[in-house]
Amino acid sequence: MTSTKKVALVTGATGIQGRALISHLSKPDFGWDEIFAVSREPLDFDNRAKQLSFDMYDKEGAKYYEDYVIERRKKGAKWTWSSLRPGCIIGYSQGYMNLLHNIAVYGTLCKELGGLFRFPGTPVAYKVLLDCVDVDLLADAQIWLATHPQAQNDGYNISNGDQFRFQQLWPVLASWFKLDVGPSLRIPLTKFMPHHKDLWAFIVKKHNLKDIPFKKLAQWEFADAMFTVPSDEFGDVNKLRKAGYDKQRLYTEEVVLHKLDYLAKMKVIPKY
């Protein structure tokens, strides 16, 4: 009788998706025999992965059209593929495309400056319907997708299962920072934030936070894009549910508050 080893290869291992996926794979109850983590930087969290150093930035062409490239390459092969298509991901990581870090740093600066918590985007973006996904839910779904044959060779949308408006989320965020919500005011964060680099250094010392390089805290271009969305943006997740994965039952407001608590616990931002 032969047994099959469960081996996982995770690229972007220190990114918002990669670190969550490796953390889940490292849990004993998932039963993975080997985990290989591809990353340029060392893993700074508990895991049992073997790290492979490789610069993925010298390759281009990985977006949704990657599905079509993979489909062509797999013809006649024994392996299968599947993919998830999240919108905004809510979780912990340094660097790119992490709305939570943008909000966390912006809210902290508003608190320290003693001002109001203003939505820095456009009036339209304040009211559009959006969706996002808890990074832990995403990691769980990735593992499920890779181990269930009925979901192979296809792509799926994924989200928490609800939609939100910044108009509704902003007062919830303000309450976490113990701030009052002010009128919306368009503030390009790519221009606003660099002027507060020294203030952030002061906040780090004042609250004994992790000394993360300011440019790695958040990507303000991504924040500006999210805060100026011109229309509703959310995906239909019924296809994934029909395939058999039905854990998309989270409330985004609760997810965001939980993740802010986690950032405070990790000493990325203060707990007010």
Q: Where in the chain are the domains?
A: 1-60, 85-265
CA distance 198 to 220: 17
Task: Find which of 51-65, 127-141, 212-226 is predicted with most confidence, using mean pLDDT.
Answer: 127-141
Taking only the tens place, the pLDDT of each residue in 224-262 is: 999 999 999 999 999 999 999 999 999 999 999 999 999
**Could you give phi then psi for residue 95, rounded to 5 degrees?**
110, -130
Give Rg (Cα) of the chain.
Answer: 20
pLDDT at 66 over 90: no
Q: Which of 64, 68, 106, 126 is catalytic?
A: 64
In this structure, how many other beta carbons lie within 10 angstroms of the beta carbon of residue 24? 19
Name, in order, each residue with C-beta under 8 angstroms of 63's C-beta and a sequence gap of 6 or more: none
Tokens of 161: 């299962």
Q: Measure the CA angle with vertex 229, ends 177 and 105; round to 5°.
A: 25
pLDDT at 64 over 80: no
Tell me the CB-side half-sphere exposure of residue 246, using CA atoms within 13 A.
Answer: 4
Longest dimension (CA), the chain: 68
Strand partners, 157: 85
| CATH number, domain 85-265 | 3.40.50.720
Taking only the tens place, the pLDDT of each residue in 33-59 is: 899 988 888 777 777 888 888 665 555
> Is 65 annotated in the active site?
no
Share of the chain above pLDDT 70, in %: 90
Across the range 164-175, mean pLDDT stands at 98
pLDDT at 73 over 80: no
Across the range 20-35, mean pLDDT stands at 87
CA distance 270 to 266: 9
